[in-house]
Structure 1
Amino acid sequence: MPDIPVGSQIFDLAFHPTHSTVYTGLLNGKVKAFRYDEQGQYEDSFVLRPSKRSCRCLDTSEDGSRLWATGKAKAIFTIDTATGTVSETRKNAHNSPVNRIKRLMPQMLSTGDDDGVIKLWDPRMSDPIRDYTHHYDFISDFLWLDDKKQLITTSGDGTLSVIDVRGKKPEPVAQSEDQEDELLSIVAIRSGSKVVVGTQTGILSVFNRSHGWGDCVDRVPGHPQSIDALCTLPSSYPSSHSTILTGSSDGLLRAVQLFPTKLLGVVADHGSFPIERIAVDLGGEGRWVGSAGHDDTLKMTDLRAIFEDEEGEEAVDESENVQIIQASDIDPQEPDGAVVETQVPPEGTAAVNETSDSDEDVRDSHSLKEKKRKSKSSKNALAGRSKKARNQIDADPSFFKGL
């Protein structure tokens, strides 16, 4: 599918759970929706601007009839996806800009803001159900564990917390130790038994639910820069239980298999623009993965072309699709299985092409990048881009000597 130009930087994207429609939240406050088909053709569905301030996060209702949008305006807008109009507005939902929103159950939403405040909402009520203030820095991501009715949150303060939404106490049931790193993204693998967290220094931290939430049980180094977005593969793929898609601020969308750790390949390349959000359509079970960075375009990549051969089986052909690199190949300077102390690269500013109707939107974009400390440092083997094929990885043969 060709890239979909949206005219402004994309902060978040969400797919309709049953239809081939994707929604984007933009820096200029607009929400743009696009319909697409199996052949990769797309067309505009609707465009609206609930607020002049940036729209940072989106999520849909269970049946896709409603879309919730929020962000710098601190309000929650309910959008009727059939008509493309705002049906309800909750003003001053937070005291600070909202950074994440997630539907937990049919009648429950969660939101997290820049000051670390988390609120639970019933869409039928105007006031929040409960507030949580145990985090002191921005809420970066949410993960919902339906079996325990628990909400897992990650924060820029370096901790992960577990909230039992059935409880009445305004405090979490568990909170990790300080990981001494900003936690930016989270996803569950192995049928929810393990949780993977992406960090500012490019390390994947693995938590085991059976071992508690105090500290991670494994750390997988290799990404040269921060891991801002994570998602799982559709369950139809044999390795989906331990394979994740990672979006990094170096602009590469990678497929990484854990247990054993292998870099399966590069799924999409945003050039020098950081990747902020990734998602798979049709409730995570579709064929298209959408990725959004700072390049004012929505990139839609066909997973079948990456992971399946002509017979529809999972492909591992190095010459046509991907190269497999063992975890020990990612960073030859570290011993196998070692916990790596990764240094944060020097601060830098990525080039951003954005269309905004106010200076405040531009400042919002810069403030987010400063908060997450996006950086562009020297490349390592994991960051190489091939000029011959989109899904190949350049690797110097001498790099593998002595392994």
Structure 2
Amino acid sequence: MPVIPLGSQIFDLAFHPTSSIVYTGLLNGKVKAFTYDEQGTHSDAFTLRISKRSCRSLALSPDGSSLYAVGKNRTLHTIDTGAGTVSETRQGAHDAPINRVVCPTPHLLATGDDDGMIKLWDPRKQDAIRTYTQHFDFISDFLWLQDKKQLVATSGDGTLSVMDVRSKKPEPIAHSEDQEDELLSIVPFKGGTKVAVGTQLGMISIFNRNKGWGDCVDRVPGHPHSIDALCALPSTYPSSQNTILTGSSDGLLRVIELLPTRLVGVIADHGDFPIERIAIDRAGEGRWVGSVGHDEVLRLTDLREVLEDEDERDTRPEDDNEEGDASGDEGDDAVHPGLSLAKSGIADRDEESGDESDVPKPRKRRKNDEKDLKGEPQKKGRNQVDVDPSFFSGL
């Protein structure tokens, strides 16, 4: 597995949509870019010190010509990726440190800060075009819904909200109920009809767009620690419609199928250090998945090596799996031989039932200040979740 050492804690990464270039935002305020080849061998592209404070989030324009960087200095930086220089700086873009940025279209940019404020920007204009204040805690992630031209935001206040960017009203068109847990990450699946949300207590909350955004329709337990990052598989994989990648604070990068739910495997391990962000190159359709966190390295995992054999097994006739189906295990759907399951902490679940009887644990605040993110190892607690023994019987 190729590893790129950075020398500082990494808050975010972004892959160029068409070129083999990856950008990283660091705790020391630097943005570092690297090129890589088919073998994962890397070389330095450029290094910029945009601030003395942390760079928390990065977002590339759809064509990859501009990189937007935000962080604790409350400034929105625009970087020319071709020249490797800062082309524009919007100081005081927010009144609080900016936690997330996303650029879904060439003329739309969204930022969210630690106080829950969301701002929409037109990169061609200096000032924000709209401001939303429905959240009161940090904005943790964004999801762009292309079919509806809507932006979904998750927050540490335990709710998510949906904004129609075509509307001139500074109010969301939907705002969920309090989920009694911090919402940290979000990703679509099932062709975008459903959305998975990662939480502080390790639960994956499932929202069905056809049933509205008021409350989740299902909860998938299993992660022993918080789910800080979520990512969808490239559409070229047959199982991409219901398979996602999860990055947890226990340092494990997992592949999980949803509805019905099963663990496919663990494809990367950051040791005792939390994973902050994960992303797939080539605008989410490439072969390399990058994961970053507190261990100060960028790990590149080749999806072709760990998933292609699994997808080949998934395409076999159903009669090949009769024995596994009868016993309640996965039979021929066993994971790739190189994947670790014993430390996964994920149990199988049935098809979506809409049962919301899971009683959440007492809410635990997520420390979002850099003084608490100096890379101190966390215990994995991999044995905190009981797993049905039959899940492992066919492996």
Give the Cα separation in 2 of the matches to 1:42 and 1:243: 29
Within 5 Å, which residues of 2 pair with 1:56-95?
A: 56-95=56-95
1:396, distance to aligned residue in structure 2 (A): 9.9
1:40, distance to aligned residue in structure 2 (A): 1.5
Within 5 Å, which residues of 2 pair with 1:54-133?
A: 54-133=54-133
Partner in structure 1 of residue 296 of structure 2: 296
Partner in structure 2 of residue 155 of structure 1: 155
Give the Cα separation in 1 of the matches to 2:141 and 2:27: 19
For this pair of structures, how many residues does the alignment match?
368
- Asked whether the 8 Å contact 1:348–1:376 carries over to 2, the reply is no
Counterpart of 1:340 in structure 2: which amino acid? D
Give the Cα separation in 1 of the matches to 2:103 and 2:389: 47
Distance 1:14 1:20, change over 3 A: same
1:306 aligns with 2:306: yes
Partner in structure 2 of residue 330 of structure 1: 347
Within 5 Å, which residues of 2 pair with 1:214-253?
A: 214-253=214-253
Give the Cα separation in 2 of the matches to 1:280 and 1:398: 33
1:330, distance to aligned residue in structure 2 (A): 1.9
TM-score by length of 1: 0.85
- Asked whether the 8 Å contact 1:225–1:376 carries over to 2, the reply is no
Give the SS at the match of 2:312: coil
- Asked whether the 8 Å contact 2:345–2:382 carries over to 1, the reply is no
Distance 1:318 1:98, change over 3 A: closer
- Asked whether the 8 Å contact 2:347–2:391 carries over to 1, the reply is no
Distance 1:250 1:18, change over 3 A: same
1:303, distance to aligned residue in structure 2 (A): 0.5
Give the Cα separation in 1 of the matches to 2:364 and 2:175: 30
Give the Cα separation in 1 of the matches to 2:67 and 2:301: 23
Counterpart of 2:382 in structure 1: which amino acid? K
Give the Cα separation in 2 of the matches to 1:253 and 1:59: 22
- Asked whether the 8 Å contact 1:237–1:314 carries over to 2, the reply is no
1:348, distance to aligned residue in structure 2 (A): 11
Give the Cα separation in 2 of the matches to 1:91 and 1:144: 25
Distance 1:247 1:344, change over 3 A: farther
- Asked whether the 8 Å contact 2:53–2:71 carries over to 1, the reply is yes
Point out where structure 2 has 5 or more consecutive residues left out of the alignment. Answer: 315-332
Counterpart of 2:212 in structure 1: which amino acid? G
Q: Which deviations, in whole Å up to 9, do the C-alpha atoms of 1:172-214 show, x marking residues without a partner?
A: 0000000000000000011110011000110000000010010
Distance 1:15 1:398, change over 3 A: closer
Partner in structure 1 of residue 205 of structure 2: 205
Give the Cα separation in 1 of the matches to 2:172 and 2:366: 35
Give the Cα separation in 2 of the matches to 1:239 and 1:331: 17
TM-score by length of 2: 0.86
Q: Which deviations, in whole Å up to 9, do the C-alpha atoms of 1:245-271 show, x marking residues without a partner?
A: 000000000000012101000010001
- Asked whether the 8 Å contact 2:231–2:245 carries over to 1, the reply is yes
Give the SS at the match of 2:282: helix
Counterpart of 2:84 in structure 1: which amino acid? G
Give the Cα separation in 1 of the matches to 2:4 and 2:363: 32
- Asked whether the 8 Å contact 1:225–1:375 carries over to 2, the reply is no
Give the Cα separation in 1 of the matches to 2:24 and 2:206: 30
Within 5 Å, which residues of 2 pair with 1:129-148?
A: 129-148=129-148
Give the Cα separation in 2 of the matches to 1:375 and 1:82: 38
- Asked whether the 8 Å contact 2:182–2:365 carries over to 1, the reply is no
Distance 1:382 1:5, change over 3 A: farther
Distance 1:43 1:314, change over 3 A: farther
Give the SS at the match of 2:309: coil
1:123, distance to aligned residue in structure 2 (A): 0.3
Distance 1:104 1:135, change over 3 A: same
Task: Please give the root-mean-square deviation of Cα atoms over the aligned residues, in Å.
Answer: 2.9
Partner in structure 2 of residue 320 of structure 1: 337
Partner in structure 2 of residue 358 of structure 1: none
Give the Cα separation in 2 of the matches to 1:77 and 1:35: 22
Q: Which deviations, in whole Å up to 9, do the C-alpha atoms of 1:58-88 show, x marking residues without a partner?
A: 0111111110101001011111111111011
Partner in structure 2 of residue 366 of structure 1: 371
